[in-house]
A and B are shown apart, each in its own frame.
Chain A
């Protein structure tokens, strides 16, 4: 079993040449075998948290720790973190022309193997076929340039294909459901669920309870203004869906502006 622990994490970004604090002390513990969800208003810092865990250089850690089985990842490079077992399905995956999906996946898998023992082409293709089938993706998709010209939904599916091929310990899925039609949502959920097991943990970021019908979380966290303000079980998502964030904010006595304040 592995544990990913976020300890009092404070993170800033540079805006107009000034540092702005986005995460104001996040605490979170994920264990393999568990499924967590984070919900929260736009601009609260959910993507900031996931990008910071992965090591995106745009996010600056002010203080705090990111521990994988007690080992602090903060000083590790992005690729080291990935090889240590982290995976981030990004909200906005990059497009890379000229690099095929297949080449990219092979490089990612071989990066986890010793230099003189690259994965055999037949093994690789067998695994790829298998995962493409789970996700109802065509071979042609795997031969295309990485995300280039992919539709929003295709990009999301491709993120999950990578997840299934790489088999990390922890996956953070940042709005994997946004832009998906209903069928695609089920396919993506099927893919994620196929990973479920004692050696795999998930942190899903979503705005919609609907995703959680398909990938049922053990824990739901609510993030507001750079902090996790409440943690509950799957039922919490239903409550939020019904009541919005304003009720929770007022209940907790937080001073956070929300989108629907204007409408009220």
Chain B
């Protein structure tokens, strides 16, 4: 890893004085200290086929609360419709439909959740989905976190309209971004969440973003993560799901960032009969590297894991899909299936789609498919022969390739939005 800016002592002192200034409860101060301890002792987590040691992920200062102004332009338009909208550490907008409020749904930022719903936060934060000691980067986030969203859906409450969240990394100045987010779906509840992670500004920053999703028994969580951070943002993303009995967690990810990203999207199928579905699309272009580890672990009996990922690589970019299916001993009748496909549009592109299956039980079903291909020359020639210019032809082929996942998305609005995001991402690449 790059030279850390801070020695352990300075960091500890900085974290303690931040926690005290925030009047954080003792349990949280203790958690931060444990986390810092884990950060300093644990090795960097391994992402197969990728070396991120020299990425500027560790250029941070001691935690302090920054004030960020709202954004302008296209993002501001999106922001206007969000239930939760934050820039940097500043929460700018918070709204919930009346019926959700009346049913006891809580949507707030993490800081006020710590102040007002301390018990809930204490029960779940780094206790079920992620844990201190899992790895160095989640530990670092826990020691350093300054805000995030907190969403609690009470028992049997079923929210129809999605909760939309926009979080903007503030690159207008050099600053930390340690965002820690918590979603708790209590037993029998249902919720749709769309989390959009974007950036604003021209300074280079590291973005550390964790989401913990706890899906209690019989709950159904649909979680879309649409990440569109700029080339100036080097990111570590971790979205982790914990599923109790018969819970269902449906992840939909779009990794449309322009900067270097490592991402860990894992689900723990703890409860019997729980099911996780992961659908991912990603585009890497120019000199960018994006590496996605997507793991689903079957612990419970009759659990079902499904991963479908499609990625496009242009220019000199690198895109890695490590799909990990792990069936633990005792998970009788479990199913784990995955499909990872990459399409390369340039001879300098680099891609890997590795399915890793670890199976410790017998009466299970596991399958995988993976491919790394190039655009077929005959296909390209056919499109060109109808007068379609090469860049447009490439976009058609790319859209076609990603359609395998896009058409499977639950919401039509999301399908449209993603098609637009893809189009923008590809045209940006061409003009630069």
Q: Which one of A62-70, A75-83, A253-261 contacts B? A: A75-83
- In the complex the two chains form, is B399's CB within 8 Å of A77's CB? no
- In the complex the two chains form, is B386's CB within 8 Å of A56's CB? no
B389-411 interface mask toward A, CB cutoff 8 Å, 1 = contact, 0 = none?
A: 11011001101111110000000
* Interface set, chain A 23-53, CB cutoff 8 A to B: none
With a CB–CB cut-off of 8 A, which chain B residues contact A88? 385
A78, A82, A87, A103: residue with the most chain B Cβ atoms closer than 10 Å? A78
In the assembled complex, the CB of A66 is this many whole angstroms from the nearest CB of chain B, namely: 14
In the assembled complex, the CB of A26 is this many whole angstroms from the nearest CB of chain B, namely: 20
- In the complex the two chains form, is A104's CB within 8 Å of B383's CB? yes
Given A98-B403, A99-B400: A57 and B381 interface contact (C-beta under 8 Å): yes
Q: How far is the CA of A77 from the CA of B385 in the complex (A)?
A: 9
Given A78-B385, A166-B386: A111 and B392 interface contact (C-beta under 8 Å): yes
- In the complex the two chains form, is B390's CB within 8 Å of A94's CB? no
- In the complex the two chains form, is B377's CB within 8 Å of A57's CB? yes
- In the complex the two chains form, is A78's CB within 8 Å of B384's CB? yes
Neighbour of B378 across the interface among A82, A83, A94, CB < 8 A: A94
Q: How far is the CA of A21 from the CA of B397 in the complex (A)?
A: 33
Q: How far is the CA of A95 from the CA of B376 in the complex (A)?
A: 10
Is B203 among interface residues, defined by CB-CB distance under 8 A?
no
- Closest residue of chain B to A94, judged by CB? B382
Q: How far is the CA of A96 from the CA of B397 in the complex (A)?
A: 8
In the assembled complex, the CB of B288 is this many whole angstroms from the nearest CB of chain A, namely: 24
Chain B: interface residue total (CB-CB under 8 A): 24
With a CB–CB cut-off of 8 A, which chain B residues contact A78? 381, 384-385
- In the complex the two chains form, is B400's CB within 8 Å of A97's CB? yes
Is B388 among interface residues, defined by CB-CB distance under 8 A?
yes
Q: How far is the CA of A29 from the CA of B377 in the complex (A)?
A: 30
- In the complex the two chains form, is B401's CB within 8 Å of A98's CB? yes
Neighbour of B399 across the interface among A82, A87, A99, A162, CB < 8 A: A99
Is B43 among interface residues, defined by CB-CB distance under 8 A?
no
In the assembled complex, the CB of B97 is this many whole angstroms from the nearest CB of chain A, namely: 35
With a CB–CB cut-off of 8 A, which chain A residues contact B382? 90, 93-94, 96
- In the complex the two chains form, is B385's CB within 8 Å of A111's CB? no
Given A94-B382, A98-B401, A98-B404: A166 and B396 interface contact (C-beta under 8 Å): no
- In the complex the two chains form, is B400's CB within 8 Å of A108's CB? no
- In the complex the two chains form, is B388's CB within 8 Å of A108's CB? yes
Is A107 among interface residues, defined by CB-CB distance under 8 A?
yes
- In the complex the two chains form, is B400's CB within 8 Å of A79's CB? no
Is A145 among interface residues, defined by CB-CB distance under 8 A?
yes
With a CB–CB cut-off of 8 A, which chain A residues contact B387? 79, 82-83, 108, 111-112, 166
- In the complex the two chains form, is A77's CB within 8 Å of B388's CB? no
- Closest residue of chain A to B403, judged by CB? A98
With a CB–CB cut-off of 8 A, which chain B residues contact A104? 383, 386, 388, 396
- In the complex the two chains form, is B383's CB within 8 Å of A96's CB? yes
With a CB–CB cut-off of 8 A, which chain A residues contact B379? 94-96
B383, B387, B396, B402: residue with the most chain A Cβ atoms closer than 10 Å? B387
- Closest residue of chain B to A54, judged by CB? B385
With a CB–CB cut-off of 8 A, which chain B residues contact A97? 400
Q: How far is the CA of A76 from the CA of B289 in the complex (A)?
A: 35
With a CB–CB cut-off of 8 A, which chain A residues contact B381? 56-57, 78, 94
With a CB–CB cut-off of 8 A, which chain A residues contact B386? 79, 82, 87, 104, 107-108, 111, 162, 166
Mark A residues whose CB is within 8 Å of B.
54-57, 77-79, 82-83, 87-88, 90, 93-99, 103-104, 107-108, 111-112, 145, 162, 166
23 contacts between A and B (CB under 8 A): A55-B385, A56-B381, A56-B385, A57-B377, A57-B381, A77-B384, A78-B384, A79-B385, A79-B393, A82-B387, A87-B386, A90-B385, A94-B378, A96-B383, A98-B402, A99-B397, A104-B386, A107-B396, A108-B386, A111-B388, A111-B389, A112-B387, A145-B400
Beyond contacts A57-B377, A98-B400: 18 other A-B pairs, Cβ-Cβ < 8 A, are A57-B381, A77-B384, A77-B390, A79-B389, A82-B385, A87-B385, A94-B378, A94-B379, A94-B381, A96-B379, A96-B383, A98-B404, A99-B400, A104-B383, A107-B386, A107-B388, A111-B387, A166-B387
Mark B residues whose CB is within 8 Å of A.
376-379, 381-390, 392-393, 396-397, 399-404
